[in-house]
Amino acid sequence: MKKLLSLVAAAATASALAASAPVCVNAEDEENYLLSCSFESGEEGWEGRGGASVENSSKEASDGDHALYCSNRGDSWQGALYKLDSGFKSGETYSFSANVMYESGKDKDLYHFTMQYDLGGETVYKKIASANILKGRWAQLSNADFTIPSGADDVSIYIETEKGSGSFYVDDVKAASGGTAISGAKGGKYILGDVNTDGDVDVYDFVSARKLIISQDGDKSAPINADVDKSTEYEINDLVLLNNFLLGKIKEFPDNTPEPTVTPFDYEANKQFKEAPGDYFNACQQQGKVTKESYNGIRGNKSLYVYTPYDYDPEKQYNIFYLMHGGGENENTLFFQNDTMLQNMLDHMIMNGELEPLIVVTPTFNGSGSEAGNFYEELRASVIPFVEGKYSTYAESTSEADIKASRMHRAYGGFSMGSVSTWAVFQNDLDLVGYFMPLSGDHWQGSGAYGKAKSLADAVDKFGYDTNQYYIFAATGSDDIAYPNINPQVEEMKKMSQFNFTSDFSQGNFYFMVAPGKTHWWGYVRHYVYDALPYFFHETGE
């Protein structure tokens, strides 16, 4: 009864309200809200947009005990949506507010509170409010003067992100008549100098900043708001700059952002098999070069091939990908066989901007004493030092320290027995390699699916890496003879905290792509390389 009364009162005071109240308005609401979603009693009419899921959650809340949790997002525009009812009139101005929070991924992320409507036969998307919000902090997205354009029909509001597909929480979504100040979460936004993250830059931030400098782990615990010069580290210079800013000696902070060593990438969270265009296997007008090299390593004299991209410049640094052949094949397989023609594919991908120029090496596990399962020893002792001493990669020298320091610019993959060698490289050389592409082959260490997965997880723990410091893009065909071997291993890995399953590597580190109907053949597998390789080398591991 109380609920009904408050709705009636709200309808009486706000002229723009329709007879039927929105699902969200409930008994606790103050009377001047046209909409108020507290999520204390379910999803309250909200739905997933474009395939995302929404559910009521009691894990987090900006107010009360519940919030709306939005997950299973495949893309940045998939989010949480609410259809406004006819109480909201086109041509009228409203005040909108929503609190948003996310728990994992980047330190800050750009969120949008967006309106969607039909106008003159077209769907229009218009940002109500946007903010760069800090990970783990509730932040308010609000706009007190937002006009729904005249003629707009079928109006919805939703929360989305600029990039990525991470999960987030929404709480306390409110609307009132235009000009109404709606209070929401305070602070929680990326504002340079807002060290205590309360939403203002003032002397209290200087007090917090000074405390952080004095404390032992100040650099680690400082919010990114304290790194006012964007150097990626919080240090004395930031404190001095904040002081000068507060005293009015400087009007803005200098930008000391370091030169990026990786490029950003718009990952798909659920990457599906896609064949390379047919002409990618014909000769390209901008050709790289394939050079045969011989080296004398721990398993004797052997050959390998090195692909250098079109316009290779030894003064520049290149990412490097070691790609291993399967059983009964050799170092020639990848570049000189009709069902591979990898050079042409790489040339086209690079020419068309799908892949940054990189070096690709095809070694072999053939040779006396050498086999797929122990190639990791030769990779460490002989192959990487030989190749990267001669070609320009991110390794500053061939010392083990410099090879380790450049591991996020190094990938290893392989097909069939080459995939067996890839899992072994993961288990034994994780300190040298950051990205892995096992194709149509399982791990041959550990017993049973669980044992295989466990031996990989144990390796992670032994080396001591965090989940943002190694990435696996595995693939095979649904009709591949190796599928029944890999799939159970993948299912066990998914249950382990070391592996977070998604192809959005800004959110997780492990993916398994299954190509419908494909069998155990390079003619298919080369397309997995086409799909997976662009996903590598975009994470810093920091």
How far is Cα 36 from Cα 171, in angstroms, rounded to an integer?
Answer: 10
CB of residue 224 to ligand FER, shortest distance in Å: 44
- What is the bridge-based pairing of β-strands 122-134 and 319-324? unpaired
**CA-wise closest residue to 407 among 233, 260, 262, 257:** 262
Phi, psi (degrees; rounded to nearest 5) at 452 = -65, -50
Stretch (H or E) spanning 37? strand 33-37
How far is Cα 379 from Cα 412, in angstroms, rounded to an integer?
Answer: 10
Structure tokens at 158: 């939703």
- What is the bridge-based pairing of β-strands 300-308 and 358-362? antiparallel
Q: Which CB sits closer to ligand FER, 228 or 482?
A: 482
How far is Cα 107 from Cα 319, in angstroms, rounded to an integer?
Answer: 25
Q: Say if CB 74 and CB 51 are below 8 A apart.
A: yes
Residue with tokens 């005990």: 65
How far is Cα 128 from Cα 141, in angstroms, rounded to an integer?
Answer: 8
CB of residue 429 to ligand FER, shortest distance in Å: 19
CB of residue 471 to ligand FER, shortest distance in Å: 21
Q: Which CB sits closer to ligand FER, 423 or 511?
A: 423
Q: Which CB sits closer to ligand FER, 124 or 481?
A: 481
- The CA-atom distances, in angstroms, between 340 and each of 165, 332, 361, 522, 535 are 33, 10, 14, 6, 20
How far is Cα 351 from Cα 348, in angstroms, rounded to an integer?
Answer: 5
How far is Cα 432 from Cα 387, in angstroms, rounded to an integer?
Answer: 14
Q: Which CB sits closer to ligand FER, 101 or 482?
A: 482
Residue closest to ligand FER (Cβ)? 327
DSSP category for residue 375: H
**CA pseudo-torsion sign 229, 231, 233, 237:** negative
Q: Which CB sits closer to ligand FER, 196 or 485?
A: 485
**CA-wise closest residue to 95 among 148, 54, 134:** 148
DSSP 440-454: S----SSSHHHHHHH
Q: Which CB sits closer to ligand FER, 485 or 503?
A: 485
What is the length of the chain? 542
Q: Say if CB 91 and CB 148 are below 8 A apart.
A: yes
**CA-wise closest residue to 466 among 385, 534, 383, 541:** 541
- The CA-atom distances, in angstroms, between 393 and each of 200, 313, 397, 473 are 44, 11, 9, 22
CB of residue 273 to ligand FER, shortest distance in Å: 19
Q: Which CB sits closer to ligand FER, 174 or 452?
A: 452
CB of residue 481 to ligand FER, shortest distance in Å: 4
How far is Cα 98 from Cα 44, in angstroms, rounded to an integer?
Answer: 14
305: which strand partners? 292, 362
CB of residue 362 to ligand FER, shortest distance in Å: 16
CB of residue 484 to ligand FER, shortest distance in Å: 8
Q: Say if CB 91 and CB 149 are below 8 A apart.
A: yes
Q: Which CB sits closer to ligand FER, 297 or 441?
A: 441
CB of residue 417 to ligand FER, shortest distance in Å: 4
Q: Which CB sits closer to ligand FER, 46 or 510?
A: 510
CB of residue 451 to ligand FER, shortest distance in Å: 15
CB of residue 281 to ligand FER, shortest distance in Å: 24
- Return residues touching ligand FER (CB under 6 A): 326-327, 416-417, 419-420, 441-442, 481-482, 485
Q: Which CB sits closer to ligand FER, 187 or 414?
A: 414
CB of residue 227 to ligand FER, shortest distance in Å: 46
CB of residue 86 to ligand FER, shortest distance in Å: 59
How far is Cα 413 from Cα 307, in angstroms, rounded to an integer?
Answer: 15
Q: Which CB sits closer to ligand FER, 326 or 413?
A: 326
Q: Which CB sits closer to ligand FER, 362 or 469?
A: 362
